[in-house]
Amino acid sequence: MRGLDKTSLLTNYRQLCTLPAASLPASYNILSCNRKIAECVRNDQTPSAQDLFDQMPVRDVVSWNTMLSGLQKAKNPHGVNRCFLQMTRDGFRPNEYTVSIVLNAFLGTAFNVLVSQVHAVVVRLALNSSVFVGSALMKGYANAGNRVALSGVFDEISVKDVSSWNALVSSYMELGCIHEAQTVFDGMLERNVVSWTSLVNGYISNKRVNKARSVFDKMSEKNVVSWTVMISGYVRSHKFVDALDLFLLMLKSGTRPNHFTFSSVLDACAGCSSLVLGQQVHSSILKFGVPEDVIMSTSLVDMYAKCGDIGAALCIFRSMPRKNLVTWNSIIGGYARHGLATRALEEFQSMTECGCRPDEVTFVNLLSACGHGGMVEKGKILFNSMKAKFGVEPKVEHYACMVDLYGRAGELEEAEKLIQGMPFQPDVVVWVALLGACGLHSSLELGELAATEIDKLGHAHPARYSTLSKIHGERGAWNSVQEFRKTMQEKGIRKQNAGSWVESPQGMR
C-alpha cells in the first residue's frame, strides 16, 4: 500500500469501535451547502466540493456522505478512508449509505484489506443485519478473496430478500466458485431478471461464455441489461460476430438498446474491422435518439479509428464536450495505427495540457506511433518520462515497443542492450519484435539468438521460421531455406495471413 502503514490503518479502525456517538447542532445553512457540494460532485469538481465541505461551520451525515461519494467517484480511496475516519472521530454515526460508499470505494484497491475492519464498525453500529449493508460487505469480501467471511455476512442478514441472494451468487462468481454460485441460484425460492443476469455475467467473468449463453437462452424475461451483458460478454471473448448476431436478435425482440448496448456493439464492429457495420450502428444510434455520452462517443471514435476512417474518428472526437482518458487513448491509438506519429504526439500534448494524466495504454500507443514514424529520440524521451514524470511503471509491452522502435531504425545493438537491462524476463512478444527487426536488417546472429529464446519459451511462432528463412535466403543459403520450409510443413506451421480493411459489401441483415 503506497505511502501507507497497514498496521496504523487497522489500528484506526479498531478505535472506531469504541468511539461514542454525538448529536449534531442544527444549522439553517446546512441544506444549501449540501446542495452545492452535491452539484460539484455531479460535475466532477471534487476539489471544489472539498473546499466547500472544509468551510462548513456545521455538518450533518448528509454532508459527510456527499463528500464521501465525491471522493469515491474521483477514484480516491485514500481520501475516502481519511474522510470516513474523520467523520466517526467527529462523533457522527455512519448510516447504511455511508458504509456502502466506503466499501465500494475500496473495491479493487489496496484498501480492500480494511473490509474486515469496516465490518467491525458495522457490527458496533448494529447495521450488520441490513440487506443493503450485507450486500456491500459480501462484495467487499469477494474482492478481498475471503470466501469464509463472505458466507458469514450472508448468514448475519436477518431478513434475506432476493437482492441478498443475488449478491451471494455474484460474490461466489467473482471468487471463481462457479459450483457454489449455481447451487445457490438453483436453491433460490424467488428469482428475478437480476438473478438470471448475475448468473450470466458470472459465467462470462469466468470465461465460460457458451454456458452464459445457455443460461441466457433460458431466461423467460430479458431486459436491456440482460441483452447488453451477453453482448458485452461476446465482445470480451472476442466473439464479435456472435455479439452482432445477438444484437440483431435484441432488436427483433423489441428491446430498446441504450448507450451501453451501442458501446459494446461498436466495440464488436471495431473487433471485426467492419466499417460498413459500424456506420450502420452509428445510424441506428441517431435513429433511436440515444443521448450522447462520453462512453458511447468514445466507442465511436475507437470504431472509426480501427476500421480505417481516421477522419470520422477525429470529427467525433472534436465534437465531444467531455473527454476521458479512454477517449484520448482511442484517438492517439488511432493516429498510431495510421502511421500519423506527429498527430499522435500533438494530441498527447493537448491531453496533458487539459490535465488528463496518461496511463500504460497511452504510452503503448505513443511508443508504437514513434516506432512506425521512425522517431527514435522522441520515443526515448517518452519512455524515460513514463515513471520519472508521470509515475507510470514501464511494463513488458512498453519494452517490446522500444525494441521494435530501435529495430525499425536499425539500432539492433540498442535493442539487445535494452532487453538485457529489463527488470523482468522478456516474453515472446519482445523476442518476436527483435526477430522481426533482424529480418528487416538481415542480422543472422542476433536473429538466431531471438529464435532460440522463443523456443525456450515454448512458442512455435511462425515468425521464428519464416524470418530466419528470409535471412538465409537473402544470404544465398538455399539449403537452410529448404530445411526451414520442410520443418514448417512437418509441424503444420503456416505464415500468418495479412489483414486488410477492405471488406465485403455485406451489411447488417
DSSP 343-367: HHHHHHHHHHHTTPPP-HHHHHHHH
Predicted confidence (pLDDT) at residue 495 exceeds the cutoff of 90: no
Alpha-carbon distances, residue 375 vs 269, 329, 343 (angstroms): 31, 19, 13
Cell of 230: 451477453
Output the pLDDT for position 500. Answer: 46
State how far the Cα of 114 lies from the Cα of 119, in Å rounded to an integer.
Answer: 9
Predicted confidence (pLDDT) at residue 25 exceeds the cutoff of 60: no
Domain edges within the chain = 1-127
Predicted confidence (pLDDT) at residue 330 exceeds the cutoff of 50: yes
Predicted confidence (pLDDT) at residue 502 exceeds the cutoff of 50: no
Cell of 495: 505464415
Predicted confidence (pLDDT) at residue 24 exceeds the cutoff of 50: no
Q: Which of 250-264, 295-309, 424-438, 463-477 has the lowest mean pLDDT?
A: 463-477
Alpha-carbon distances, residue 22 vs 55, 66, 81, 92, 214 (angstroms): 21, 20, 20, 6, 54
Query: 419, 424, 495: which is closest to 461 by C-alpha?
Result: 495
Q: Which of 63-77, 90-104, 311-325, 483-497 has the lowest mean pLDDT?
A: 483-497
Instruction: Please state the rounded mean pLDDT for residues 335-341.
Output: 94
Is residue 236 within 8 A of residue 273, CB to CB? The reply is no
Q: Between these two residues, 208 and 459, which has the higher pLDDT value?
A: 208
Only one residue has cell 458496533, namely 124
Alpha-carbon distances, residue 119 vs 8, 115, 152, 374 (angstroms): 17, 6, 11, 55
